[in-house]
Amino acid sequence: MTSLRAGPDERGLFADFGGQYVAETLMPLVRWLADEYQKAKADSAFAEELGALCRDFIGRPSPLYFAERLSAHCGGAKIYLKREDLNHTGAHKINNCVGQILLARRMGKRRIIAETGAGMHGVAVATVAARFGMPCVIFMGTTDIDRQQANVFRMKLLGAEVIPVTSGTGTLKDAMNEALRDWVTQVADTFYLIGSVAGPHPYPQMVRDFQCVIGNETREQIQAKEGRLPDSLIACVGGGSNAMGLFHPFLDEPSVQIIGVEAAGHGIETGLHAASLNGGSPGVLHGNRSFFLQTGDGQIIDAHSISAGLDYPGIGPEHAFLHQIGRAEYSAVTDQEALAAFHLCSRLEGIIPALESAHALAEAFKRAPKLPKEHLMVVNLSGRGDKDMQTVMQHLSEASQ
């Protein structure tokens, strides 16, 4: 039986999804990047340096925490939280950024660019760029700049140049468009540090591999605590790197149920959402083929989510593949459900989650009461909620009026 962990193929495809749909100018670069990544994977010195940075710079392993009060409140499954919020910079994003900055240095690149939505990827990129002494440019939509001002300040404090993007809705899609335009014009010295399991091959594979530290640790930790594998895994999905990092090490374990949670925004039926698998169709954007929110003639539809990190009209190609073959289930959670979960986790566990992570928590709270007490559920707490205080305060203010 072929392992589900084997993909992508040599063309960067997960069956019908993935690939390299980029400008002719970039094709030699993405092929070189793919070759260099394979060489780095086989280099023990690269692995040793990455491991040391994960331990001493990021602070890994992150804990697997039994959420005792949330479990009791739900009255069913035993809920564990994988605490990626405790990483340096406050989210899972740093795992991938450390790996890619080492690859950039290996390739002789001198300038780093990136896109960011919620700002956590931008902060992580700025952090590693500062650590390795490289100039860094972050593209960020003006809508996201307005709702993530603290992270914009953090990026600038770390030495990054933050370029506002005014096109479209001023969110993640538009920031990625501008980053790709920059990359095309400065291919010689620039490394594009993509933040999710999206973009042209090898990015979906490479980002996934760097994030698999989440799932690999979870396997060891849950077996140490409970003596067996979990029964279910739940993670939020925008582009989907935190989810793929948790899911991938378990793909060949049929007993482990895998649930990704998209952003339903104001509701799938309203059209104001960011749920590509629940409300989109196959197409091509940002260098890969996957599911996207689009019109019948392929024009991309603007996404909506209260969470800046999930406000993207597409999903990583490996998630599209897992959806297609039925290995993973993808549900959707509304803004209101995520906010309720945000407050519940804060008050019962003393942990303020990112609004992205609150989507996963909301799905867990729906499912846990219907499950037996011996059911082991792991929820990926992909980031902390410091960055979302302004958004939540604004929502509470509007709700009280």
- Block mean pLDDT (10 aa), the chain, length 401: 91 97 92 97 98 98 98 98 98 98 97 93 98 98 90 97 92 90 92 96 98 98 98 98 98 98 97 97 96 94 92 96 98 98 98 98 98 98 94 85 68
In Å, the largest CA–CA distance within the chain is 59
The pLDDT of residue 147 is 84
pTM exceeds cut of 0.75: yes
d(CA 84, CA 213): 11
What are residue 145's phi and psi, to 5 degrees? -60, -40
Q: What is the mean pLDDT of the chain?
A: 96
Confirm whether 13-55+93-202 and 61-90+212-399 share one CATH topology: yes
d(CA 219, CA 246): 9
Where do the structural domains in the chain lie, given as residue ranges?
A: 13-55+93-202, 61-90+212-399
d(CA 298, CA 343): 38
What confidence tens digit (pLDDT) does each residue in 131-149 have? Answer: 999 999 999 999 989 988 9
Q: The domain 13-55+93-202: what is its CATH number? A: 3.40.50.1100
Q: How many CA atoms lie within 13 A of 354 on its CB side?
A: 32
Tokens 């409970």 -> residue:
226
Are 179 and 215 in contact, with CB atoms under 8 Å apart? no
| Alpha helical stretches, state H, 54-192 | 68-74, 93-106, 120-132, 142-147, 149-157, 172-185
Are 202 and 12 in contact, with CB atoms under 8 Å apart? yes
What confidence tens digit (pLDDT) does each residue in 16-49 have? Answer: 999 999 989 899 999 999 999 999 999 999 999 9
Tokens, residue 282: 């196959």
Strands, E assignment, 130-242: 136-141, 161-165, 190-192, 232-236
d(CA 130, CA 127): 5
Query: Cβ atoms within 10 A of the Cβ of 369, count?
Result: 11
Q: The domain 61-90+212-399: what is its CATH number? A: 3.40.50.1100
Query: Pairing between strand 64-66 and 78-83?
Result: antiparallel
d(CA 46, CA 102): 8
The pLDDT of residue 1 is 65
Are 335 and 324 in contact, with CB atoms under 8 Å apart? no
Catalytic center residues: 93, 115, 382
Tokens, residue 221: 């930790």
- Phi-psi bin for 139: left (phi > 0), alpha (psi -120 to 50), beta? beta
